Amino acid sequence: MLAMQLPQFQVHAAIEEKHWWFLGRRTIFRALLEETVPMRVGRKLLDVGCGTGGNTAAFSIDYDCTGIDPVPEAIAFARQRFPQCKFLVGLAPEDIQKEMHEADIVLLADVLEHVQEDRKLIRDLVHFMKPGAVLLIMAPAGRKLWSPHDKGFEHFRRYDLKMARALWAGLRVEELVCSYCNARLYWPIRFVRTLTRFFGKSFGPADTDLSVPPAPLNTMLRRMFESETKQITRKGFRHGVSFIAMLRKF
């Protein structure tokens, strides 16, 4: 697995508790999980590639959460920020086979794009998951959105749904959800990414496009993103900045 560099982790740690994208993403995740794996005492969530720990901490209110990441600096950030949560340095699934088999939910939030052998990762995760457990995935989509932002985060690719479904084709999983998301902001984001390609650099810190907009705009963007939840679970979207999938092992 190819990990993000320290400057990108520093950006995440600085903004993931207030930026509209991080907050909206969690709202969508929570809605999908409440419908499929509702909160119950003892249910376990494993956050693979947890980075600086924001998702692990957010879901620790509802589930018994563990975060794992191969980058010690990221886990150091996570432990410092969320001392109430359990964080591990290591690779999934090989370093956490016991935890994998016990988990009711495996979260893979914007990790696949950093992994060269992405199908192998999905196959290995599914192999160690117990029957009935769900794998919740989000990753960047839209090849026309490729920009310096992706290079800054050391992405290997952006996905379309055909590429995504090829990752779990033939595995012992039932596809519960597979859709593009962040669709309502696709065209504004595509415009920004086109500009950054033209200028050859991102508009935010550490070679990324991540910066927190003024509060009213940040709130509006978050609400637009969150409002996609129902359509994601029904007919889905034809394009989007990301894709989201939920798979259940049988």
What pLDDT does residue 1 have? 46
pTM confidence score: 0.94
What pLDDT does residue 39 have? 86
Residue 48: inside a domain, yes or no? Answer: yes
Residue 174: inside a domain, yes or no? Answer: yes
Residue 1: inside a domain, yes or no? Answer: no
Residue 67: inside a domain, yes or no? Answer: yes
Does the pLDDT value for residue 225 go beyond 90?
yes
pLDDT in tens, 53-96: 999 999 999 999 999 999 999 999 899 999 999 999 999 999 99
> Which residues touch 27 (CB under 8 Å, ≥6 apart)?
222, 225, 226, 229
| Rounded distance between C-alpha atoms, residue 92 and residue 97, angstroms | 8
Average pLDDT, the chain: 94
- 196 pLDDT band, cuts 50/70/90, is very high
Does the pLDDT value for residue 233 go beyond 50?
yes
Residue 136: inside a domain, yes or no? Answer: yes
| Rounded distance between C-alpha atoms, residue 242 and residue 221, angstroms | 15
| Rounded distance between C-alpha atoms, residue 160 and residue 139, angstroms | 10
What pLDDT does residue 6 have? 64
Residue 47: inside a domain, yes or no? Answer: yes
Does the pLDDT value for residue 11 go beyond 90?
no
- 4 pLDDT band, cuts 50/70/90, is low
- 2 pLDDT band, cuts 50/70/90, is very low
3-state helix, strand, coil split of the chain in percent (to 5) is 45, 20, 35
Tokens encoding 21 = 């994208």
Alpha helices, H only, the chain: 6-15, 20-36, 54-59, 72-81, 97-102, 118-128, 148-152, 161-168, 186-199, 215-226, 229-233
Does the pLDDT value for residue 181 go beyond 60?
yes
Give the number of domains in the chain: 1
Which region among 21-30, 81-90, 207-216 has the lowest average model confidence (pLDDT)? 207-216
**Sheet of 173-181, strands arranged across:** 86-89, 64-69, 44-48, 105-109, 134-140, 242-249, 173-181
pLDDT in tens, 94-119: 999 999 999 999 999 999 999 999 99
CATH code of the domain covering residue 209: 3.40.50.150
195 alpha-carbon distance from chain centroid: 25
| Residues spanned by the domain of 167 | 6-249
